[in-house]
Amino acid sequence: MTLFKKLIVWSLVFLLVAVALLPVNVFAATPSGINLTTSPLPINLSANPGNTVTADLRIQNSSNQAKKIKVSLMKFSAYGESGKPALQDRAPGDDYFDWVSFSPSSFIAPPNQWVTVKMSIAVPKTAAFGYYYAVVFNPDDQNPTGKGNKFIGSTAILVLLDVKSPNAKRSAKIVNFTAERKIYEFLPATFSLRLHNDGNVHLLPAGTIYIKRGSKQVAAIPFNSQHGNILPNSYRVYTASWNDGFPVYVDKQQDGKIVLDKAGQSVKQLKWDFSKLPHLKFGHYTANLLAAYDNGQRDVPLEASVSFWVIPWRIVAVMLITLSAVATLIVLYIRRGRRIKRLEQSLREKK
């Protein structure tokens, strides 16, 4: 075997050993599933006092048999800071429930077909600011059970109504903008924006996170692509991930299903798509958030930045070991050649 072939073989051995030693289980995410599918989610409505506003709600029965569905009304508030809603029953004084009607209010849902329900809200002249409805669909033969943001046997569409008022205050402030880690070995890199709505009306921020390496922009990530609102006088944490890397952590699947750990959370594994080898990330990066919300008159900017490192240290270590081995073999080869030359010269001199 020639010296060149030996170098190639040893390099591949080092790389394969390093890949085998890389971890596969790190992050976690929670899956979910229901038999009733709704669309859209959520709905943002705006109305003037004294007017009636309507919205088409769509529901699909994802089971293999027809079901009778009934429509009921609840309200919701913020459940923590993740954006999950806390569904609540009507309380004394919640007269805005009386403004709402549905057509139809109950129906037979054929399997795997969409059904449209029209929601009408007759807004009185005395109304103002925000009202937050949860339109609940559940089988007629059972009632949803649970509390907070967990209800079994039903699904809901969130409807946010903004009744225009000259006294509306639309204001939000950035509390912090952070990266999940200061140093990543591989992507995804996850960013979190904690926002405070100190107004009296819900807001819908939107924008982009621009990733730069030095002065060069390398990526642009949509911010709040799920169109999540922040309710008045509350905090909310928005997250976004940059996953255009090599290798990259993805959900581990088996037989088409996400693999869960003992805590019921999904397992992550490294995906080695060698067609994305040029996307290997290394170095110091800066994430610049450029977003905005509508205060009723203009778009108000929200800007923040955070820096982080991506250092694939195991790959770097393998490369250094390989280069060191190659350099050592080259030195040994040169020394061997010199010894052979000295020996040949010594034999010629003896002759």
88-106 pLDDT, tens digit per residue, is 999 999 999 999 999 999 9
Tell me the domain boundaries of the chain.
3-30+169-313, 36-163
Structure confidence at residue 15 as a pLDDT band (50, 70, 90): very low
CA angle 304-307-311, nearest 5°?
155
Is the model more confident about 290 or about 38? 290
Question: Kind of pairing, strands 114-122 and 52-61?
Answer: antiparallel
**Does residue 323 have a pLDDT over 70?**
yes
pLDDT, tens digit, 9 for 90 and up, residues 182-219: 999 999 999 999 999 999 999 999 999 999 999 999 99
The mean pLDDT value for 220-244 works out to: 96
Query: Peptide bond preceding 42: is omega within 30 degrees of 0, i.e. cis?
Result: yes
pLDDT(25) > 50: no
Encode 111-138: b = buried (16+ Cβ within 10 Å), e = exposed.
Answer: eeeebebebebebeeebbbbbbbbbbbb
Higher pLDDT among residues 154 and 188, named by residue: 188
| pLDDT (average), residues 338-351 | 75
281-305 pLDDT per residue, tens: 999 999 999 999 999 899 999 999 9
pLDDT grade for 164, boundaries at 50, 70 and 90: very high
Q: 182: which 2 tokens?
A: 């200061």
- Residue among 118, 141, 119, 136 at smallest CA distance from 67: 141
Which CATH topology does 36-163 take?
Immunoglobulin-like (2.60.40)
Predicted confidence at residue 142, as pLDDT, reads 65
SS3 326: helix
Token representation of residue 26: 């790190």
Q: Among all chains, which residue has been given the structure tokens 């990330």?
A: 281
Higher pLDDT, 13 or 213: 213
User: Rounded distance, CA 139 to CA 151, Å?
Assistant: 13
Instruction: Answer yes or no: are the C-beta atoms of 250 and 271 closer than 8 Å.
Output: yes
Same CATH fold assignment for domains 3-30+169-313 and 36-163: yes
| CATH homologous superfamily for the domain 3-30+169-313 | Immunoglobulins (2.60.40.10)
Q: What is the mean pLDDT of residues 34-50?
A: 85
Asked if residue 195 lies in contact with residue 240, where contact means CB atoms within 8 angstroms, the answer is no
- The answer to whether 289 touches 222, Cβ cutoff 8 Å, is no
Q: Does residue 329 surpass a pLDDT of 90?
A: no
pLDDT at position 351:
62
